[in-house]
Amino acid sequence: MPILNFSLKLKTAFLMILFLYFTLSWASFSEMKIYYGGLHSHTSLSDGVAMPEDAFKYARDVAGVDFWAVTDHWDRLDFVGSLGKLGNYIKDSSMNPEKRFQLIKEQAYKEEVPNKFIAIRGFEWNYDDIGHINVFNTDTFIKFSEGQSLEDFYNWLRKQNPEAVAMFNHPSGEGLNIWNNFEYYEDLDKIIDCIEVSNGDFDDYGDRVQYYFISLDKGWHLGPTATEDNHGFNWGTSSENRTAVFIDELNEEKILRALKSHNFYATTDKNLQLYFFANDNPMGSKLSENEINFYIKVIEPDGDKINKVTLYTNGKNIVKEWTMVGENKFEAIYSISLNAKTEVENKTNNALERYYVVEVETIREKGLNPILYEKRNAISSPIWIKL
């Protein structure tokens, strides 16, 4: 029967297209690798120790990370005269601020190893307790006279290269360090891409992660980072805090693009692998589909036990929780169906948009006593769904 034949052929063709679509999508992502690094550290150009080249060398050769950023404080960079605290290396008090900022770039280039280690220059803006912000991929840094309020700093940031990347650092409570309560600006949302959920070591994660959710609820499109904020000779070894980026090739441009696209997650375990997809789209994606199939995969290569995996949405509400997984591998598919009408009724100030975030908790045993253990965490960038 020609009609049946035709419809069968059509069906086969449709299935093939569907298959092709899925395989293409998976194939393009399967070329992505996870690279681990740090986005916050200091040297004697501000209130840390040694020179940027020492930080990059140490992070590369001793810590063995894939990328590392030196982000000295803006006010110290802009200070002409004797520098830093006791034990600092820099002696050249005549070095002007521009030269000092340029030096970080020069030393970064020198220490890079193609496809192996990427060194990144940034700086940290901070004034009183308004909230500290790291900035990457700008040609200059903000002068001390120009940025003594959040408004002045934001105005400066607005004028920078649109490919600049900024990060909210070490959020903490009671009006301090939360950037005027995360007041939202649509233009700045395109430049500020990250927020720290752990700064230093794993044990502050519990206090800081709530601000990630608060910022998302305010409408910001941010992904989470875990950093060390080093002020000593321990770049990459003071803890296991890492930011993990999905890229197909290790270079600075791709790292910065991954940060801008939120294809990254934070982890306080140096090699935990976290994959999060919605209808085949990786973390960081923005979708507008009602029927969502989430796919989550976690691999813990060192044998720590996965204790809990949680899928959250707006208001840090739990969508689904998998507890006491107890293995070092986890994989799940979870489907939801969003009702457009309900979404309209539930809309927040960021109309009709939902975010979904996956958080992982692992247990690391310390010694033979089973009570002695540490909880480590990883948390994904969101997948946003707008109906």
- Cβ at position 124, least distance to Zn ion in Å: 5
CA distance 372 to 385: 40
- Cβ at position 132, least distance to Zn ion in Å: 3
CA distance 66 to 59: 9
262 dihedral zone (left: phi>0; alpha: psi -120 to 50; beta): left
- Cβ at position 284, least distance to Zn ion in Å: 25
Residue number with CB closer to Zn ion (122 or 382): 122
Alpha helix segments (H runs only) across 250-387? 252-260, 340-345
Which single residue brings its beta carbon nearest to Zn ion? 132
Residue number with CB closer to Zn ion (132 or 221): 132
- State which of positions 323-342 bind Zn ion (CB under 5 A): none
Q: Give the max Cα distance, the chain.
A: 90
- State which of positions 100-139 bind Zn ion (CB under 5 A): 124, 132
CA distance 252 to 39: 12
Percentage helix, strand, coil for the chain under 3-state DSSP, each rounded to 5: 30, 30, 40
Q: Nearest-CA neighbor of 377 among 261, 239, 250?
A: 239
Q: Nearest-CA neighbor of 124 among 223, 226, 45?
A: 45
- Cβ at position 40, least distance to Zn ion in Å: 6
Site string for Zn ion, 150-189 (x = CB under 5 A): -------------------x--------------------
Residue number with CB closer to Zn ion (75 or 124): 124
CA distance 380 to 386: 19
- State which of positions 344-363 bind Zn ion (CB under 5 A): none
Residue number with CB closer to Zn ion (77 or 311): 77
Residue number with CB closer to Zn ion (169 or 362): 169
Residue number with CB closer to Zn ion (196 or 269): 196
- State which of positions 211-270 bind Zn ion (CB under 5 A): 229
- Cβ at position 321, least distance to Zn ion in Å: 33
Which residues make Cβ contacts (< 8 Å) with residue 385, sequence separation at least 6?
A: 278, 286, 287, 288, 289, 292, 338, 353, 354, 355, 356
- Cβ at position 22, least distance to Zn ion in Å: 43
> What are the C-alpha distances in Å from 179 to residues 17, 137, 193, 194?
48, 21, 14, 14
Burial label, 359 (beta-carbon count in 10 A; 0-12, 13-18, 19+): buried
Site string for Zn ion, 64-103 (x = CB under 5 A): ----------------------------------------
Residue number with CB closer to Zn ion (121 or 254): 121
Residue number with CB closer to Zn ion (196 or 252): 196
- Cβ at position 34, least distance to Zn ion in Å: 25
Question: How many chain residues are in contact with Zn ion, going by CB under 5 A?
Answer: 4
CA distance 123 to 162: 17
Residue number with CB closer to Zn ion (127 or 295): 127
- Cβ at position 339, least distance to Zn ion in Å: 43
- Cβ at position 172, least distance to Zn ion in Å: 10
Reduce the DSSP state of residue 304 to 3 states and report it: coil
For residues 169 and 132, is the Cβ–Cβ distance under 8 A? yes
> What are the C-alpha distances in Å from 191 to residues 33, 83, 98, 158?
24, 31, 23, 8
Kindly list the residues in this chain that would bind Zn ion in the complex (CB under 5 A): 124, 132, 169, 229
